Amino acid sequence: MNTASESFALAAGLVTHFDPHLVDIVLLSLRVSLTATFFAACLGLPLGAAIAVGRFPGRDALIVLLNAMMGLPPVVVGLVVYLLLSRAGPLGSLGLLFTPGAMVVAQAILITPIIAALTRQTVADAWSEYREQLTSLGAGTLRAAMTLLWDTRFSLATVLLAGFGRAIAEVGAVMIVGGNINGVTRVMTTIALETSKGDLPLALALGLVLIAIVVLLNALAQLTRGWARARFG
Amino acid sequence: MAETVTGLPIVLDHVAAAPGGVPVLAGIDLQLAAGGRTVLLGPNGAGKSTLLRVLHGLIPPSAGSIRWGSATGRPGGQAMVFQRPVMLRRSAAENIRYALDLAGIRGTEADARIAEALDEVGLRALADRPARVLSGGEQQKLAFARVWALGPEVLFLDEPTASLDPAAARAVEKIIVDIHRRGTTIVMTTHNLVQAKRLADDILFLHAGRVTERTPAQEFFAGPRSAEAAAFLEGERL
């Protein structure tokens, strides 16, 4: 038999039997990327809303910069975070390098521009519809921004999902700042690099889980949006 | 409505407006006193909606000055209903509560006003329904319930019945009359001359960004003073 079909069979076995090693890696991946998405949302949502509603000098340049930063190469982010967190770096005393914490930092930096830029677009579209009414009712800029964030919450769920999807699927940044240490910072994507060492079944199994997670989340988002549209208009 | 600061009369002194850089209004001198129902008439593009927005403080004048009574800057105590209502993704009642909250009215006082306002427009049964899934007519009535709850000193209406069917339009007209009876000054635009006759105390006629005349309604419809208004009424009768 060829290696591919054997590997698929072994991979399926690992997934269906909840291989503990596999489960640990999946859980770590989820923990790191969900935490990164949480922090990126805390920054990106208000930032995007503020840029959408606010009027200040340099706003157009900021929008261009933000949109461009959606395409930040993970390896570059990893390198910068590595330099910041390395023992000789400005944040070296935190001792974060080669820990899951460092991976959270790197992924959060990677996806904050994505969440902020997509939030800005979503909120700006709503703002053009609501602007006169909210101004008429006497809402200031801050209040308007908060109202719009809440009113576009179902669209923003998709925005957060886009951020999470990017975080959990990237490999460059977590590889550099995490180091792919078995049992400590080895996540679903870095394990794929095990291919070179011959552990094809595990790599494939993780690939399957990764795809399943992403599909599941998007299905969930789609259902929520459909439900919300019917329920809230 | 018992504010110590009043936003009336509204006084415009040589006001021009150019929203988005396009000149729409020029040389408007105007005084709007308390109590009346003023209807803005004029052909499309005359600047009716822009004037309404300047009066409400949504568009700043590009020249000249505007003063709202004894208030410094744009006063509270004003409200506006737009041609298409904008509702938030929350229930009908919560949409009213949001407006009251911005006006500093909360708690049991807000509850009472919400119930009364929904009763006034006949939407009590739909209080908990999401506002954005209501029909166009229901949403416009809800916009009026929001105004009723606020009890403004002045209410601006931008073609409030233009996108409604005749039954909903009649219901909205009745609400406008009720709001005026409670002491709210009304300033509205309409393209419906019959409606203008029914609702107006006086007519403000605009043509090409200028006020050509301001005349008591009965007198206006009997025979307008300005040639532009005469031509407009003539055209409508054809």
- Does residue B180 form part of some domain? no
Q: How high is the pLDDT of residue A228?
A: 86
Contact across the interface for A151 and B88, Cβ inside 8 Å? yes
pLDDT digit string, tens, across residues A71-125: 999 999 999 999 999 989 899 899 999 999 999 999 999 999 999 999 999 999 9
- Give contacts of B82 with chain A, Cβ < 8 Å: 132-133, 136
Which residues have C-beta within 8 Å of that of residue B161, sequence separation ≥ 6? B140, B168, B169, B172, B173, B190, B192, B195
- Give contacts of B99 with chain A, Cβ < 8 Å: 137
What residues does B213 pair with on adjacent strands?
B205
User: How far is Cα A105 from Cα A96, in angstroms, rounded to an integer?
Assistant: 9
Contact across the interface for B53 and A132, Cβ inside 8 Å? yes
Q: Where are the alpha helices (DSSP H) in chain B?
A: 48-56, 92-102, 107-121, 136-150, 166-181, 193-199, 217-222, 227-237
- Give contacts of B133 with chain A, Cβ < 8 Å: 230-233
User: How far is Cα A130 from Cα B17, in angstroms, rounded to an integer?
Assistant: 22
Q: Which residues between 115 and 134 in chain A have a beta carbon less than 8 angstroms from any beta carbon of chain B?
A: 129-130, 132-133
Residue B173 has pLDDT above 70, yes or no: yes
A155 to chain B, closest Cα gap in Å: 12
pLDDT digit string, tens, across residues B101-125: 999 999 999 999 999 999 999 999 9
Domains of chain A: 28-191 (1.10.3720.10)
- Does residue B195 form part of some domain? no
- Residue A14 contacts B, CB cutoff 8 Å: no
Contact across the interface for B130 and A135, Cβ inside 8 Å? no
User: How far is Cα A176 from Cα A64, in angstroms, rounded to an integer?
Assistant: 28
- Does residue B18 form part of some domain? no
What residues does B155 pair with on adjacent strands?
B79, B186
Contact across the interface for B88 and A138, Cβ inside 8 Å? no
Q: How high is the pLDDT of residue A209?
A: 87
* Helix or strand holding residue A158 (H, E): helix A153-169
Q: How high is the pLDDT of residue B150?
A: 96
Q: What is the ipTM metric for this complex? A: 0.92
Q: Write the DSSP assignment of A136-155 as a string of letters.
A: HHT--HHHHHHHHHHHTHHH
Residue B178 has pLDDT above 70, yes or no: yes
Looking at residue B162, the DSSP 8-state letter turns out to be T
* Helix or strand holding residue B63 (H, E): strand B63-68
- Does residue B111 form part of some domain? yes
**How many domains does chain B divide into?**
1
Lookup result for tokens 């105590």: B77
pLDDT digit string, tens, across residues B41-100: 999 999 999 999 999 999 999 999 999 998 877 888 999 999 999 999 999 999 999 999
Low pLDDT (below 50) residues in chain A: 1
- Give contacts of A230 with chain B, Cβ < 8 Å: 133
- pTM assigned to the model: 0.88
Q: How high is the pLDDT of residue A1?
A: 47
Mean pLDDT over each residue of chain A, to the nearest integer: 90
- Does residue B215 form part of some domain? no
- Domain interval for residue B106: 83-151
- Does residue B88 form part of some domain? yes
Asked if B76 and B105 touch (Cβ cutoff 8 Å), the reply is: no
